[in-house]
Structures are given as structure tokens and as C-alpha cells.
A and B are shown apart, each in its own frame.
Chain A
Amino acid sequence: MRYAFSPEQQAFGESATDLFARHCSPGAQRLSWMDDSGRDPSLWRGVVDLGAPAILVSEEYDGIAGTECDLLPVLEEAGRQAVPDALLESVFVGPFAIVACGSEDQRRRWLPAIASGESRVTIALSDGGLAPDAHVSDLIVLARDGQLRVHQAGEVALERVHVEDPSRRLFQVSPRTEGELLPSSGDLRDQVVARELVGSAAVLNGIASHLVSATVAYAKERQQFGRLIGSFQSVKHLLADAFSKVELATTAARAATWRVAAADPEGLASARLARICAVEAEFVANKVALQVHGGIGFTFEHDLQLWLKRGKALEQSHGGRHRVARTAGLDAVACAQRAPQNEEDD
């Protein structure tokens, strides 16, 4: 057993850290809020140079043939630095949908271009769902009647849906053609959903981790009543509580990702559990971060809002908070019925 990332995975994560720091600083993001695109092409080129979109693509299609776990450090870091690009969709869920559900012909046509970064992909997994970064994507995967269809950028009309987080770019996509059905997407939909759940959990855990560490840093410099506010138990305990939840949620997401990647029969159920922990931990971190920052954190000038708003968006995105919890509850009932019952129980 080994819970830690491998040295290669760690190095991959560190490269992503450097890349994001160069391109997605809060200052750079603020500049991008003004323009419609809001995307820095050089960031995407950097992501491609890292090999991220090629990780889940097999060597046969010019990919790297890595695993879902390899992408975790990048997704966590994307959250930690509030990367505006929809990397979850473009390097993880989107490519996976085509890898898993595409026909041989479709894979041959699309995967090499995805792996090389020539084609950028996005995906919306619920019917009528909004597709992030559709305006910079070449392939847009949409759900209809429980199946997935791939649309070329030129065959859709995009309408931007404005959202609280000025860095996010969400679009209502109206296809002008039928698109191409991914033939196995009806049968394998759960596998795609499982990746969305663990991947979005990883991003949320990164966001929450930053919210806690940025707030700890602030509590170590802000003074009131002649003392650092981080010396008050009321503040220390809020932070310890949030930290402990984020720690467990991070471990849960890593473990669930490993199960999903290993085709464990419990993979999808574990992915839901990991997603719930990530949402609930981020919820607490979000609350604590603003509370401890106080008034300064509520100003438009303060960068905390990048993580506060992104966090609130991702709590509800990718299937909604309550639906996932309810399905996990049904899983738990089914699991309890299968579990052996001790005779001593009353």
C-alpha cells in the first residue's frame, strides 16, 4: 500500500504548480475578466507541453497511457491556484469520454489531436447542461437522453451564461447538427460520471486547501486587541476544524480515484462519497476563510474572492450537491442490505 504520490506524479504536480503560478496569478486573472475570452492561450500551451491532455490516451493514439491518479496532482493544484480554465473537462473527463465510449474510427480521428493539444475538448454531462470553456474548445461533448454526442466547434451556437465568478466561462450550447454519437456512452456513462466526481472533488480539495492556508497566513499577521488574531482559540479552532475536514476529503478523493482507475466495483460509489466530502469540506473552508478575513476579505480588491466564488460554484456544479448525497444514501442502504449483520446487534 502506498498513499503518497509517486516521485513522477509529484514532479508532474510541481511542474503544474510552476506553470499555473506563471500564468494564473490573481493579477493576471483580473486582467482577463475584461475580455470575452478570458483565456490565456499560453497557459493552455503549457498544459499541453506538460502532457496533461495525453495522460488518459493510450500510446496507440499518440498518448502517454497514464492513469487517472497521475492527473490528481494537476487537478488539486488547479484548485489551489484557482486556475480559470476548465482543465477538469479538457484534460480529464472530456478525453476519457472519447477514450472509453468512442468507436475505433472516432478514437483514431480525435484522440491524437487531443493528445497533441491541437484539439481542445469540453464536456457537459447532464442534459442541457452548461459547457465550460466551450468558446475555446474544438470538440464539445454533450449529453442527450443518457448518451453522449460529440460536436465540432463550427456546428454549434454558443450563448454565454454570465456567472458570479468572473473567471469562469460557461456556455449554453445549441447544436445545429446531430453531432456524432459515442456508441458506448449509454453503457459506460457511469464510468464517465465517476471521473467527473473524483476530478471535481480533487479541484474542490485544492480550492479548500488554499482557503485554509491563505487564512492561516492572514491570521498570523493580522493583529487585534494587541494580539495576532491567530492566537485566539475561536479562530484557531475554526481553522483546525476546516483543515481536518480538508485533510480527510483529500485522502478520500485520492482513494476513490485509485478505485475508479483500478475498475474497482465500488469505484462509482466511492467517487460519490469523495465528492460529498470535498463539497462539505470546501463549504466549511469557504465559510471560515471569509469569516476570519473579516471585512478585508469582503472587498472586491481582495483576491480571496477568486477562491470563495469558485468554491461556491463547484459545490453545486457537476450534478448538484443534494442529488449526489441522495444517491450516496441509496448506495448506503443497498450496501447495508448486503453487509452481514451481527447477531448481537439490536
Chain B
Amino acid sequence: MSLQFRAGFRHLLRHPWNLLLPVLGIALGVAVTVAIDLAIQSSREAFRVSSETVAGRATHQIQGGVTGVADSIPALLLRETGVRALAPVVEGWGSHPSEPDRPLRLLGIDPFSEAPFRPYLAGGPGAEVDGTRLLTERGAAFVSRATADRLGVAENEAFTLLVGGGLVELRLLGVLEPEDEWSRRGLRDLIVVDLSEAQAVLGRGGELDRIDLLLDEAVADSVLERIRAVLPPELRVEPAGSRERTMEEMVRAFDLNLTALSLLGLVFGVFLIYNTMTFSVVRRRRHFGTLRALGVTRGGILKSVLGEAAFLGVAGSVVGVLLGILLGRGLVRLVTRTINDLYFVVSVEGLALPPDVLLRGGLLGIFATLLAALPPAWEATSVSAREALARSTVETRVRALIPVAAGIGVGLLGLGGALILLTERSLGAAFTGLFAIIVGAALVVPILTIVLVGVLRPLLRRTVGILGAMAARGVVTALSRTAPAVAALVIAVSVTVGLGVMIQSFRGSVVQWLDVTLQADLYVSAPGGVSARAEGSLPEGLDELARGLPGVVGVSTYRGAEFDSDYGRTRLVGLDLDPRGEDAFDVLERMGGLSDEGLFERFRAGDGALISEPFAFRHDLSAGDTVRFASARGPAAFPVLAVFRDYGAEMGTVMIGRVAWDRGWDDRRITSLGIFLEPGASEGPIEAGLRSGSGSELLEVRSNQELRQLTLEVFDRTFEVTRVLRLLAFLVAFVGVLSALMALQLERSRELGVLRANGMTPGQTWGLVTAQTGLMGLVSGILALPLGLLMAVIMIHVVNRRSFGWTLEMTVSPMLLAQAVGLALAGALLAGVYPSWRMARTSPAEALRDE
């Protein structure tokens, strides 16, 4: 290492705060982004691996409509088209009683059809088992070696599975041990049973999920044509993997939101590096001047400063990646749970560590560090020996730059605003706009700080005395150091405010929506699966049973199904709506000229659909448009009667009257019931009546309050990741501000030494330091409020809308704002503790020694 670089690195080592804090800051920033990236990639990869393994070599899949695929279809295809390479599949989810939160995929197959598709199941290469043995014993199952070990079950031993709230006994007949790692990973958490066993266990008699096809590419088109000709209209033939792609598409907005949030942490890390490097350069102006006098070129200085930054960046990024892996282990659980609650079931074995994610995180950290160090490095090259020797200050130049920075900041604010206002649907534009606004605001902060400190100075003079006035003056005379710190604190606090208001508003809206939506007194559903969504079906005749119970005045029935339609993954609901439940719809938009009575009259008659707000937003539909589905009896079209508020399903929901459902599909099942009771009727006897009458002890019967509570719990669970990210982002910012303010005060050691030499007591020194950091905290807190509220508006009305199609009512709690200002103030005051303590302990003589 050259002497010039050695000098730079030794400078870093001599100022451990300057070394440790930015390394920590960048490490935390990188850790958050890496952790989120790993969590997202792990859940994605787990989903992909298991889907692909389960799909095997299928080239196409016949997918079901609302009622799946009738199990008579394979025979029909064989008869009418001669296609033999087809494999019927039934899939469902369960869990082991010892790990109820970990989903296990139950795969029902026809062992005779499997060989070409999933050779590991049918005695093909790498298969240790003979799939046909599944037919010989009731409850027979195969699992992978890893799953068998985890469940603690040996071959020929029985084990229980929790499916739809009930316990099912299975027997492990053989262990799957495919040769390749990909299949091994795909078989994790997979239980293979015979088709009829799966139908029985999942309560799906006569129904398949899909039929896998293996078609020769050369004749695929003509064979597909023949297949389509004989298939019932509601069934679709799609290339294998298209459903998975649709599902991955669904979570993209969710992923993008998490990624954007995680990048905020990195933005704070960048601030931190900028701060540290600026300090380091300002502090070494004479050093650079000497080097220039000795013949070091501007390029040499630039390289040297960027070299130091690269060192910090590499160190921070390496630590960050390692920390990210640790953090990722926790976050992957939260992310997976949210995906399970909101989108689809996925079981994640552990954190995947794709090298590209780790490398990307590391490079991002290094790149961000170098980017942040570029302005101070440039500043260092502009230090001429003449300036350094003349001891002219950098402050004059900074002051001249402040209006320029403010101008650029206003420009960025305008640009960000324009990006948001001029685009309608692009989430990328919304986030870019938001980031432009954040950076723009940071650039405007210095000029606003001058104004605000000018306003506060007389107040401080009167209340704190000369020390107060000095503290205020100190903030504006050292703007090269104070401005980045204040800007970082403003951004950090505003993000806290923005996210806080967003979460609060979202929760407030959900609470309001639940108040409207939950009109029934009791809700009955099939025992819960592994996700928070209602699945399964209720015992036949339960609705009639409920209607006959004393105290019951009305019943709404609900039949929901998720399937692939022309709108992508769609949730269609057939609703037999009791008139008492009409108020449950918070109608946002209705078909012209339709009264409330008219609307529900048409709905009940099956003449129209109600669509949820996210569905309308995603597919650009309004009341009066038409939604079309392929029903079992041919194409069905429903005019959109109204768009209603719904936070229940992000993919959106289409509701049609039960009459329309029955007209389109031969499916009498019911997913859940809403029961209305006489005033004063007790819930207990009705619940007992339902259980005894249906013979099912496993029914989920919840009161209005319980369901409301459960929904809010799920809501809080889905926002847990956001809360963690908010906390982490603030932590990074806090470290940044702490280091900036601390460095600023330590930098003033000499000045404070002069004051101490002139008779200032340690207590007064403490007062001066804390007054200054406190003032900066207060200014930051005040400036953060409007920015935070602006961010909240953007997140609520733009980001949320574009991501999920929801509109939310913005609610701002004064307590949250007060907390934010308090947080800034507390953080800033805390930053003053160490420098004050150090100055109080250092003798003035020591402080006056020239470094």
C-alpha cells in the first residue's frame, strides 16, 4: 500500500468513531436489503422448486374452473382424443400437529399415469419406491427422507396429519430419495398419496385440481386443438408453469413494497457515509493541502479518498451481508406468513442463500458508499494548497452552495411530484417519485434550517441565555457539518411519520370496514387451513339447519373459489345474501340509476356482480362494465352493479348471487355462513345446535367480535414486516445522526477547549453541547412533520393504490406526530452525551493542543 493510502487508512484507524459508525451504518443498510431480498427469494424459490418438482415434466396442464376438474375428464380425453400421457392430480394443504404453522403439501396422484411425469414416484430413474403400492393400502403415503426425519416417522409407521382442522391418519409406505438435489428440495414438505385418498382426505370427491399433460412439441398444437374441443367450457389448457407465473405476478407488488422499504435503510447508510467522509475531508483540509503542495495530483487525492470509502464500503458490506443472513432468517418467516395469509400457500424450509443475492447486496453497499463519498472526495480534490495554507474556511463555499442545493431540491420535489401525478398506475414511477421527493427535501433542509434557527435563536437567547444563542449560532456557522446531520434526521423521522401514519390509516380503514362488513352475529366456516383465508366446505344442509334453529332470524351463505380466469387468479364468490347483510357492502360506485333496493334485487336474481375495489382497479373496471367467466355451462357475463370497499383479498373479489352461481356451476357447496340472531339471543346454544345437528365438532364458529379480532390479528401480522423494516430503517438513521452529531461536537473540541480555558465549567460545556444537539433535533423534528405527512399521503393514496388497489382513509394521530418530534429530540440529545462527557473530562490544555 502506498504511503498516501496508508496515511488515509491510519486516519480512519485513529478515529474509531469515524470508522465504526459508518461501517455499522452501511452494514445495517446492506443487512436490511439483503435480508429482505433473501426472504423474498427464499419464498419465491421454495414456491418455484416445489411447483416445478410437483409439475414434473408436464408440458401443459388442464386447469379447473370454480369446481376444479371432474375426475371423469381423463377417461373422456383418452376416449375422445387418444391422448395417453396425462396424469390427474389433486392437491391440498395440511400440517403436522407438531408444527401446525408449517404447511405440508398433500399430492394425490394416479400411480399408473405417473411414470412419464414424475419418475421419482413411479419406479423410474432415481425412484426408490413403487408408486403403485399406494393403491394397495388405505392411507398409504410417501414422503421424502428429509420430511420423514422431520416428522419423526419410519417406514411402515403411521402418522397423523392436520387437514382442514381434522386429524387424518396416514401410513408411511416408502421414502422418496431422488438422485438430484433439485427434486430432493422440491419434495420437502410433500406427502404423496393415491388420488382417491387425497380426494377423501380433502373432501373433494369426484374432483381434480388439474390434469398434467406431456405433449410432443411437434404435434402439440393439433393435440391441444382436439383436447379443447372435448373439454367442458370452464376448463383451460395452459402451458405448464403458467399458474405459478400468475401467482408470482400477484406478489410482485408486495415484493416491490418490501424492497423499496428496505432500500430506505440503505439511503440512510448512504447519508451516513456522506456525512463521515465529509467530516473526514473537512478535518483533513490541511493534510490534503500539504499533499497537493508536495505534488499529489487532484486525481491522486480523489483516488485516496475514494479508496478509504471503498474500504469502509467493503467492510460495511461484508458485515452487512453476514448480518443480512441472520436477519433474513427471522424475516423469511414473517414474509412467508404474509404470503400465506394474502396470496398462496408456500412452505419455506430455510433461508436460501443465492450467491447473486449476496453479491448484489454487497455490491450495492460498496456502490452506495462510493456514490456517497464522491461529493466529499471531489471537495477534497478542490482543496488547493493555497486555500489550506491560507486557512480559509469551507463554510463560505458551503453557504454559497445552499441556495443552489435548495434550487436543485425544489426541482427534485417538483420532478417527484410530476412523476407521481402524471402517471396513473406505474408503481415504479411512484417509488421513483417518492425517492426524488425524499432527496429533494434533504437538499432543501439546510436553507430551512437557517430560517428556523433564525426564528428560534432569540427564543433561546431569552430562555437559555448566551449559551443558547451560541448554540444556535453554532448550528448555522458550521453548516457543512450540521446540514447533512439535520437532513438525515429529518428524513429518518419523516419516514417514521410517513410509515406510522400509513399503517395507522390502513388499520383505521380496516377497522371501519370491518364495522360495516361484519353485520352477522355468528360466522361459521370449515376448519381453518394453513392460511387465514376461508377454505374448504361446510357439511351439506348446514344452512338449512341454521335457519331452523331457534333465535336465528336470517342466514347468508357464502361459497368462495379461487381459480384461473381471463382476469388471472380470481376469487369468485356465490352469495346468498340475507337482507340484513346488505349494509355489509360499503358501495364506492354503483351502476347509474340503481337504488340500494334495485341493486340487491338484481344481485339476488343473479343479474349482475359486485366487484371489490382492488379487482376494479386491477382490471380497470367500473360499475356498468361487464365481467365474463367461463362457467360449467358456457360463457357467463355479469354486468358490474357496484364496486365495493374490500380489504379482504388483495387479488380482488367478484361476488355474484347464489342463483347465478347455481346457474353456472353444478356445485351446492358452501364455504361459510353468516347467521343473524334475534336481539338478545344467545350465541352458545346456536353454536351447540350447529355442532350437534351437523355432527361436526370441528366447525369454526366465531362471534362477530371474534372474527373482527381475528381479522385484525391477521392485518397486524401482515404489517409486522413493515414495522420491522420501519424500526430497522430508523435504527440506521439513528446511528447516522448519532455519529454525525457526535463527530460534530468532537470536532469542536478545540473551540470548547478555548471556552473552558476562558472559564466555562464542565456543566456549562454540557449545556452548550446539549443545547446545540437538542436544537438540531428540534429543528429536524419540526421539519420532518410536513415531509412525513407528505410521504404518508403518497404511500396511502399512490403507493397502496397502485400496489393493491385499495383506497384508505388517512388518519393522523397528534400523538404519533408528538412522538416523532420527541424521538428526534431524544436522539439528538443522546448524541450530545458522549462529547459532553468527554469534554468535561478533558483538560482545556489537552483540547487546545493542535492535532
Are the chains A and B members of one assembly?
no
